[in-house]
Amino acid sequence: MDDATHDMESELQRAGATPDGELDLARLALTLAALDRPELEPDSYLAHLDELVGAAGDALPGGAGEAPAGIVAGALAGVVAGRFRYLGDTETYDDPRNANLAHVIDRRKGLPVTLGILYLHVGAKLGLDLTGLNFPGHFVLRLRAADDAVVLDPFNGGRPLTAADLLTLLRGVEGPDARLTPEACEPVGPRDILLRLENNILSRAIKSGDFARARAVVLRMIWLAPQRAGLRFELGRLEVHAGHMGAAAHAFETCKDLAADIGETRIAGMAEEALRRLKTRLN
């Protein structure tokens, strides 16, 4: 491992011990991107993020002020999707570059969550009340301003979404009987957004049978969220697949202990059963 890779991994591990509100979402997303692109020079990408913020600030003279949320959202989308032409990749959605923020900046297209990170970065730097939502299958944002709120779709040019639009999106993911719930519109913080970003990579790696890649991604997720018991369970499964039985046992044991400590009895039970089966295979 070279020094640059070690430094990036250490940065992710430090983030795992940092309170959620203190995490620099875009910076960490670029660190994740750089782990997959050793040649990447982060300074030019950080400069581009500053350029986005500056342009959006110019489009909102005096900040959001008392402007309605729809006006603020329109100005924000006019910069990110309009001037800089960031849009969703509708033609090659599953291209792994869409989940890499550096590639997204290069190509000006990506997944909802990577594009959402750009909006959230600009919003944070300008003091906007902009948050990601826990919406399944399609990452969306909520902007509050002047006693008003609007939900934005970063994948489709930052366009505002009505409740009917959200229901259509939800049913496209969960089926025709799906219903909007309060949980789907709960805000999520930077850590969960980064995990959602990496989960896109993880699911594609597993689908393609690249389990070594999947293991590397799960380890990054564990660094970012060391108390998430479910990630340890996933690591254990991948270690079993790789034939690393000792490492698998350690992952399941850690999962069981973490889950028990935070009251996640279902996951604790799954880990205990996995350990039992593993021991049976080893005897």
38-84: per-residue pLDDT in tens? 888 889 999 999 999 999 999 987 656 678 899 999 999 999 999 99
* Number of other residues whose CB lies within 10 A of the CB of residue 5: 12
Determine contact, residues 130/193, Cβ cutoff 8 Å: no
What sign does the CA torsion over 168, 171, 176, 181 have? negative
The structure's pTM equals 0.94
Domain ranges of the chain: 3-188, 190-282
Give the residue from 82, 80, 81, 62 showing the smallest Cα distance to 146.
62
- pLDDT tens for 201-217 read 999 999 999 999 999 99
Q: What is the pLDDT of residues 96-134, one digit of tens each?
A: 999 999 999 999 999 999 999 999 999 999 999 999 999
Q: How confident is the model at residue 281 (pLDDT cuts 50, 70, 90)?
A: confident
Task: Assess if CATH 1.25.40.10 describes domain 190-282.
Answer: yes
Q: What is the pLDDT of residue 191?
A: 98
d(CA 101, CA 200): 13
